[in-house]
Amino acid sequence: MKTTVAQAKATTNSPCEIKNWIPPNSGTYKVNVDAALDLERGKFGAGIVIRDHSGRILKAAALVVEGRVSIDIAEAKAVYEGLMLAKQSGLLPLSIESDSLTVVKLCNGEISTRSDVFNVISDIQIVVNREERILISHIPRICNRVAHEIARAIGLDISVFFDAPFPPWLQMVALSDNIDAKSTTAGGRWLIDDNRRRWLIDDEQQANDEQQEMAETGRGVVVWLLSGELKK
């Protein structure tokens, strides 16, 4: 059964208490997108990351697009490019998340499409109505940090598509999303090795020793955890 634009409306508003990225169900994929403007250079960046139910990154892209546009057009373009990357990669069914509430409402037909973003929104709605089981949802910015960090790569001169092995900085931000929010109530440091094993160390000396060993061997990354908030 295909999901129409009207049927996707129920996913527009995310519960305000959500503070962490939530993986998709097994057998489905989640696309997170974000956009950032570079007004000085007359271009904008679109960040895209696609993950599975385990939080594993499957595809990612930092797109650089020439032109001075509104933030809504940039955000809508990020949604469209995220849909196309997932579709071309055969990663269906999927849900796509953006922290732009306006663009999500436009995509889901909850508000009238303005003339300035009409073409992009129309392209998105065509894809949603043709493909099976595609949902477009709004999430808070705090749940969209991986796509946000990728979008900030607009200092690039050309678009970059990431495949495994992914850059360490991208793996670190993505892995931090997978840390159980219930275990982030105390300070400490999360150490994450190359096999995705992770453990929280609250003893400063032990954490320093482990961090130094990781730096020397290159066998993992460190995610700082201070006052319950994840830091890079």
- Residues whose CB falls within 8 Å of the CB of residue 125, separated by 6 or more in sequence, listed in order: 5, 107, 109
Given this model, what pLDDT does residue 82 score? 98
Given this model, what pLDDT does residue 228 score? 36
What global pTM score does this model have?
A: 0.73
Given this model, what pLDDT does residue 203 score? 54
What is the distance between the alpha carbons of residues 3 and 181, in angstroms, rounded to a whole number? 31
- Residues whose CB falls within 8 Å of the CB of residue 139, separated by 6 or more in sequence, listed in order: 14, 18, 21, 32, 97, 98, 99
Query: pLDDT 10s per residue in the chain (232 long)?
Result: 444 444 443 344 444 456 788 999 999 999 999 999 988 889 999 999 999 988 899 999 999 999 999 999 999 999 999 999 999 999 999 999 999 999 999 999 999 878 889 999 999 999 999 987 899 999 999 899 999 989 987 567 889 999 888 888 888 888 777 654 334 434 444 454 444 444 444 555 565 666 566 556 655 544 443 333 333 3
DSSP 8-state secondary structure symbol assigned to residue 109: T
Closest CA to 188 of 211, 213, 214: 211
Cβ–Cβ contacts within 10 Å for residue 132, how many? 10
Domains in the chain, CATH or no CATH each: 7-166 (3.30.420.10), 179-231 (no CATH)
